[in-house]
Structure 1
């Protein structure tokens, strides 16, 4: 590399760095947001950094799609320019310095209220720099300047596609999805017997006609009824609908516990005839217990299990 070429590359690197810093610290109305003083934001736990927009998303991209893609693509040039300037720098040293620099910029964003510290951004930016470094190593193998540039550009595109596909595969494998709705009365109760007290019938709450699709739980003779089920230590969302029918006096209560921990407690003594809906996330649980008192009716109770791709076949 001649002295003139080095000067040109250094100028490009400095100019591009200033441009990136502008977008990271000043663009998109960041100064206005900082003046409002909404508080510091630090996101240390990465989430969804393996998710990039698909081909269908790029046809009608949203701002989130553009940002996710840009967080990687915009930092590929650093992986090319820095090792081009400093030929002896190794991959590990380059990545260590790059990650440290991004951590500093992200911290400045958060402390100046010009943005947030987001570990997702750090990871995506670093992946972009790594792609650029790999493209440089693949491209700069000859003495022909323009051939090196062409091969490096093509290598960057190919590596980006590979990473794009890999991210999509990893996201698909590790993404959790909700399974089909399972009515609670499809399970067996705590004694191992088929569930009882789940006959369906219609009623009116708050003037709305209710037609339960799966089940109805109630306290026989307006006293107290306890229902117990084994959940099988699964991660799931529980769903409940409850209220007191218009033709009955408003009194009673509802309690939902899992392994002794109360997740839902409702007393309707001071309420009107109102329809209530509730969903509860449950990371793990063995025994579900429902206690109903008075005229409270509970219907279409069930859950959707969260699962990964590798165990969906087993569950079906």
Structure 2
């Protein structure tokens, strides 16, 4: 199927489907206020209780939303590259300044700087392009796994874990805070033990995920939602080989995404993650998000700080 026909098919499916009662773009905090030309401001920031700063995926998603508002409707995001410069706080809005770096016939580029308290918390370079087709193409094969319908989501798994008598109190506290956070993303792990960190595992993980709620028919907004979702658990995969009980201080350094094929962020996608290297206080994690029909939707990479903590309160 050509890219143009694929886009039309996706649009048709969205028109035929009933809108969900919830609006993901509002409840995932990706909505922005326009305060001037090329300047946008967050309306809400998600600061999970178990982290030191606002959720990085939200900053990525909001920055992409701001950039997408400055490009023609015929152009769609195909890549982004971010640097996290310092942790954001949930008690003050983030302002996004968009620089219209280049406008071309097929490609256009934007640079976004996210500012809070007068300091940059994130910078993003992102590129958009008009859709085109070419007869030459290839992709990896999607891994064979059990489908999402036969799996429990992370919320259900957390509730089950809290009933365990052998679960350490610190872990119970962490799970309790996790259950209180409105992430608006449903995640169903292929192997729940990969999340428990009861014993070391190879740094590979697969989960099914989808946005919870209606997003609409704007293709760029589905990519913004996917940018929000892509930051979930990606850096954490580098901790899977660690010995049980080891505590870490982790912080995201950078985040890159490449969008390959159209998708719906509120439909099930398989998130395949791995960490090829961790050492010297840094880790690299790679991810691929697959549509349920086996089409590769996007690729992700993230580098982060991972330092062993001798005495941790977590």
TM category (shorter chain) comes to under 0.3
Given the two structures, how large is their TM-score scaled by the length of structure 1?
0.20
Structure ranking higher in helix proportion: 1
Given the two structures, how large is their TM-score scaled by the length of structure 2?
0.20
Structure ranking higher in strand proportion: 2
